[in-house]
Chains A and B, each alone.
Chain A
């Protein structure tokens, strides 16, 4: 058993990475699906094992790829923060992949199924890799693996606009990735190492050099592009709107979250101490951007006619919340950011799965087509309602916990006005969610729908995610504990900002 645990970190990457080409060889829809699901379940099992191990006070031995010395080789290092992220990623995938079967059969031509699943697994691998790796350059490689397969996945959407959306994302994403690469290059130039651990010790010695500042700028901007922080969010709404339902759900729940994690790592572990001098002005600038993101995203969401697009804009707002928590620079705020990363992934993933159910039955997610659908598809709509409430941050849902911590973070930072703004912004969420609810429950359909409830194979995974937003809104200890410990880890390493 101990041997397996020792090898778990690399298996997290190897299993899906090997499964992906195998799927292409099989060229069979069902078989590829089974393989993808099994791979994601294996990863989920692995990450939960590791998270438990670390939560119980244990440690996961650092894994040296090929046995090379950490100084030159790649290491996989699992601490509480990335065990948490890995669990989230594999958990979301384990659910979304199950859901994929029915939805993909409906939305993707049969001949492309195995490519679809292969790309999905590769994307998953890339995201897992970004979270687990302890090597700066490796982050870039995995980022590109996940991004490239992500572009392909988005382009598979039925609407031809998916192509232009994917193209836009590709240009932006590659720019972002290359920025990160450049930033890593600067760091390597100064320190002669790519190992994150060694970097975090070495970077502070060069904190005052312009090279490190440039590295910080490039890495931050690069991750913010992938993260879709305002004003670098332009690629996101179209991608989420026109991508296949499964892809929207998967990417919205994972891709931006991992980028956020990379940003956290970079800011707190690599540059933390290096930036003390410049921190204040930079942080207030980030708070400013986050707030604009929150309000702009929410206001834009209110004006949307397509629910998928509405959710996409809401994602931009929620990303603003996460970045806000990060820039508060205190334990509560950071905990809020990390727990919001988790909660929002569950909520938004669940809501996009609901959109998939509507796509499956109605072939549309426009608000006017959803009028009166609450009667025809009550269970699907109930899932949307719960997810929407969690998005608003109603107590007893997961969303409340994160808003609470963000608000406490604002109080701790002594910013009362920020508390008011955070609460006001969540009112905007009330408006856009209730627009949909009002149409779905109290609207009169233009023409009578002749639709049934979504099939069980779609509803079940949807309810797993949606149900978990309630579960983690009440029984918060496991995830809150991990988020707290991660926040403390970040704040204690490399010195606070």
Chain B
């Protein structure tokens, strides 16, 4: 029952917000939102010791299809994802409070409701005990975030909403669902099992490749080329949504699915025989989107393409099919989440405080918005992968994994991509600190409200702390890889 709470609390929060939105003031509603986020994180933390002890708490809901129940089971990878999603919900709820108020957004009740729902479904994805449950929550996550993308209700938002729902639903229904159906049809089971369930049941490498393709492309939330278009389009949403959902919960649900499927459905052994093309696609995605990011002037769009490339890091890590790379991929879920959410927070804070969306307008911002830009700089370093920031660990493991797999070319890819990320992130920092602001800016630019600034400082500090406290995460994950990581 205990593992059900982190899923139920956000769903109840959504209900609570609907009620409070009608009967109480906005502050009460948003206060309750933050409070529930904290409570939820507390309950997620309660599960961690159990998982560390090697337990796999589980909860059975109902036998939806014979042999394929709705069923939750917490294993280390899911635990990690749930921690990230629920942990980052707290700063985001504070941030959203400030941002939505600072922006005088409409329909705030609907916004917070869908927000809480999305978190609940993301944790549902994390705790899923079999493929069908995962698929159910994956779809629920898509539908619950649709109102957030179309939040502004203008033509632009509706168009983006259509692209969003169009790509995510069509891929998940046509490809992912076919994959799930095929796995069920071929193996007769859908339970996540260490070492995979396909091995031994399906031998034809062609069929395995097709299955892998169904999963890799069906999970469009992971934004592999050519199904990445929805992510930049989703940036029309208010920044807290971009921050938590489209940099953390939703996209991470995608890469989490791929990672989980590669570990628990395919198994490394089988995967390593068919993974060539997937690694190539992931590498292409990394380089392609990094290059696109270089050319973009809109800050949020640039960050979106950066997200696409970072997600492909994780997919590449999963595709290399060895414990070290997978460990790197799992770590990268955390490191990138903390770094990227900070960057998005900063982008939003700049928008609220300075009403600027474009990189070219950001000359001299560092002097007017010192806290925001400092956080931005720290988070950029973490994304690039410099010590002493969390990002360095995941990249380290990913590179080691590439060597382990004997794929030097992908090691080069990682390195090259790091250089590119310097190329698209550092100019912003340089502009902010080393250029003079335009005269017009002198008067109108000021720091965003404290409720926007505080969360981004916390997450920026978090990305530093993760460098020093990465080992508990490693320990949490180790059982999956059965000592494959030294």
A interface residues with partner B (beta carbon < 8 Å): 389, 394-396, 400-401, 404, 407-408, 411-412, 419-420, 423-424, 426-427, 430, 434, 438, 441-442, 444, 473-477, 480
Contact = CB atoms under 8 A, between A and B. Distances in A.
Interface in B179-200: 181-182, 184-185
A442 B160 CA distance: 13
Nearest to A476: B64
Interface of B: 61-66, 70, 132, 135-136, 139-140, 143, 147, 150, 153, 157-158, 161-162, 165, 169-170, 173-174, 177-178, 181-182, 184-185
B410 to A, nearest CB: 33
A428 to B, nearest CB: 10
Contacts of B181: 404, 407-408, 411, 419
Contact of B174 (A396, A424, A444): A424
B150 A438 contact: yes
Contacts of B162: 434
A389 B143 contact: yes
B62 A474 contact: yes
Nearest to A396: B136
Contact of A395 (B135, B153, B169, B170): B135
B65 A438 contact: no
A401 B139 contact: no
A442 B63 contact: no
Contacts of B169: 427, 430
B173 A427 contact: yes
A419 B185 CA distance: 12
A474 B173 contact: no
Contacts of B143: 389, 394
6 contacts: A404-B65, A420-B174, A427-B170, A430-B165, A473-B64, A477-B62
Contact of B62 (A411, A441, A475): A475
A416 to B, nearest CB: 9
Contacts of A474: 61-62, 64, 70
A325 to B, nearest CB: 15
A389 B136 CA distance: 12
Contact of B185 (A408, A475, A476): A408
A396 B178 contact: no
A427 B142 CA distance: 14
Contact of B153 (A408, A434, A442): A442
A427 B162 CA distance: 13
A420 B218 CA distance: 13
B62 A442 contact: no
Nearest to A410: B181
Nearest to B133: A395
B173 A423 contact: yes
A46 B174 CA distance: 42
Given A419-B178, A419-B181, A427-B174, A394 B139 contact: yes
Given A442-B153, A474-B62, A395 B185 contact: no
A356 to B, nearest CB: 24
Contacts of A420: 174, 178
Nearest to A372: B153
A441 B170 contact: no
State the main secondary structure of chain B at its contact with A: helix
A357 B184 CA distance: 41
Contacts of A412: 185
B242 to A, nearest CB: 19
B174 to A, nearest CB: 5
A408 B132 CA distance: 14
A475 B62 CA distance: 6
A430 B143 CA distance: 11
A412 B184 CA distance: 12
A410 to B, nearest CB: 9
B93 to A, nearest CB: 23
The 4 closest A-B pairs by CB, nearest first: A395-B136, A442-B153, A411-B185, A475-B62
A426 B181 CA distance: 15
A426 B177 CA distance: 12
Contacts of B177: 407, 423
A123 B66 CA distance: 36
Contacts of B63: 476-477
Given A404-B65, A473-B64, 14 more contacts: A394-B140, A395-B136, A395-B140, A396-B70, A407-B181, A408-B181, A408-B184, A420-B174, A423-B174, A426-B173, A434-B165, A441-B147, A442-B158, A476-B65
A438 B143 CA distance: 12
Nearest to B63: A477
A126 to B, nearest CB: 35
A444 B152 CA distance: 12
Which has the most chain B C-beta neighbours within 10 Å: A400, A423, A442, A475? Answer: A442
A356 B162 CA distance: 28
Nearest to A437: B146
A235 B131 CA distance: 42
B441 to A, nearest CB: 35
A408 B169 CA distance: 20
Contacts of B173: 423, 426-427, 430
Contacts of B66: 480
A396 B170 contact: no
Nearest to A484: B66
B178 A423 contact: yes
A390 to B, nearest CB: 12
A395 B158 contact: no
Nearest to A441: B147
B154 to A, nearest CB: 9
A444 B154 CA distance: 10
A419 B214 CA distance: 14
A459 B215 CA distance: 40
Which has the most chain A C-beta neighbours within 10 Å: B62, B65, B173? Answer: B173
Which has the most chain B C-beta neighbours within 10 Å: A420, A423, A444, A475? Answer: A423
Contacts of B147: 441-442
B38 to A, nearest CB: 28
A434 B182 CA distance: 28
Nearest to B151: A442
Nearest to A426: B173
Contacts of B136: 395-396, 400
Contacts of B132: 395
Contacts of B170: 427, 430
A480 B62 CA distance: 13
A405 to B, nearest CB: 8
B150 A396 contact: no
A424 B184 CA distance: 20
Nearest to A431: B166
Contacts of B150: 438, 441-442
Given A395-B136, A404-B65, A438 B174 contact: no
A438 B164 CA distance: 13
A480 B66 CA distance: 9
B65 A444 contact: no
A345 B90 CA distance: 43
B61 A438 contact: no
B158 A438 contact: yes
A493 B150 CA distance: 53
A395 B65 CA distance: 11
B115 to A, nearest CB: 16
B402 to A, nearest CB: 35
A396 B184 CA distance: 18
A285 to B, nearest CB: 26
B140 A401 contact: no
A411 B170 CA distance: 20
Contacts of B153: 442, 444
A55 to B, nearest CB: 16
A401 B165 contact: no
A395 B130 CA distance: 14
B68 to A, nearest CB: 9
A424 B174 CA distance: 6
Contacts of A401: 64-65
A412 B173 CA distance: 19
Contacts of A475: 62
A54 to B, nearest CB: 19
A342 to B, nearest CB: 15
